[in-house]
Amino acid sequence: MSACGSDNSGNGSGDSSGAGDTAIYFASFYEDNGKEIACYWKDEERIDLYNGAGNSCAWAIIISDGLVYAAGMYEDNGKYIACYWKEGTRTDLYKGAGNSGAIAIDVSDGLVYVAGYYVDGGGKYIACYWKEGARTDLYDGTAFSYAYALTVSDGSVYVAGFYDNIFIDNTQNKFSQACYWKDGERTDLDNGAMFSNARALAVSEGSVYVAGFYHDGTGKRPVCYWKNRERRDISDGADHSEARAIAVSEGLVYAAGIYEDDDGKYIACYWKEGTRTDLYNGTGKSYAHAINVSGGSVYAAGNYTDDSGKYIACYWKDGEKTDLYNGTGNSTALAITIGPNIDSSSQTRMSASSNETAIETSPGSTDNNSTLSAFAGTWKRAEFDNTLTVNRSTITISSRTHTWELLGVSGDFYTLKRPGADEMTITIRSTNNGMVISGDTGAGQENWNGTWVKQ
């Protein structure tokens, strides 16, 4: 299993109020005829995200303004490409020569932030995040680095992960360094341990919580979390445990992950203020990849192996397990969020004949002859000091005019398609800051992604 791997850690943590008519959403993948397929579940209903020839996986999920966003990757001619899906419509994030992956996602003020990695020309993994498709590298490429978690709080971007010291100075007896970045500035976390890793992140009341684990140099691997860089051990490390997700609710810290029992079997569990609760007592292995606290209940998502050794995606609510997939292949739930119970009949659905998505527009909702009337005018993007002009159905930029077809409208979001040899799909929406375009996969000034201000 190559896109995700059934026992890989996911990115899913948080605290939800649980008010109103809500549903549980899981980012996931399942295996069908040997191929991994990215999907998400709303409660126990599965929505596929990709149906191309290669493997795919959804690592993270979030609900914002009633829209479903999922981040992950898909395989194209043997290369993995970082991407995210908004209502099922895919936006590619990296088109370089190496592999890439999107591991975490957040939406703030209508802007999409995705954290992950790409592989540079020298074969090194580079931690990074994308804001509306524009990439920010978090490490300089002198060592391997990886981003596991992301959140946006009070306008600042927080990303947690690790980098490898051994590639910086091979005399150091340290193989990886847990850290987090705030707006690109790195903070190291492990307090001198031999090996450490940061897997999850939460910001609550101005404090930064990072969950992970470390090796102490004696063969033990304690699970821990850091609060504002101060490490707090959850286990003594004798059971080789890992924290893979974190949530903070009403001042209490919850972490989900695994520990190894006396027989060498991994057991899914979560810790509340350091007290462990086991989630599975079957004969097989089990893993908890994500946690959420909502309405006083604790939700964890992951998978377990049945008697045949097959991995089965599942979640636990207050310790009670619910299976999500009963097919013949492996599956896992990698992230969890709780949000409004969105009518899935209005969701984007996969096209049966291609790996693109099809959006149905409600009859009479928007006339294609006036597709862009709401955005008509001249707009300027400060990032490249360039302008574009929007008319009823065309956009002119760099003296070139393109005609667009309306695919669908969801709230303030207009999804448009440019037909022809340079076919492309973008999303345009209006915000307090201007007009935001996303989905363009071009480079430099030819990439239209970003915020444009009306002139």
pLDDT at 349 over 60: no
Judge contact between 298 and 255, C-beta under 8 A: no
Residue type, 136: T
| 43-61 mean pLDDT | 94
* Banded model confidence at residue 394, pLDDT cuts 50, 70, 90: confident
Q: 282-307 burial, b for 16+ CB within 10 Å, e for fewer?
A: eebbbbbbbbbbbeeebbbbbbbbee
The average confidence (pLDDT) of the chain is 84
Q: Concatenated DSSP letters for 349-381?
A: EE-SSSSSEE-PPPTTS--GGGTTGGG-EEEEE
Which domains are delineated in the chain?
Answer: 13-350 (2.120.10.30), 359-454 (2.40.128)
What CA–CA distance (Å, rounded) separates 303 from 310? 10
Residue type, 280: Y
Residue-wise pLDDT for 176-225, tens only, equals 899 999 999 999 997 666 789 999 999 999 999 999 988 877 777 888 99
Residues in the chain: 455
What's the confidence (pLDDT) of residue 224? 92
Residue type, 299: Y
Residue-wise pLDDT for 243-294, tens only, equals 999 999 999 999 999 999 988 899 999 999 999 999 998 999 999 999 999 9
Q: Which two tokens stand for residue 161?
A: 């992960």
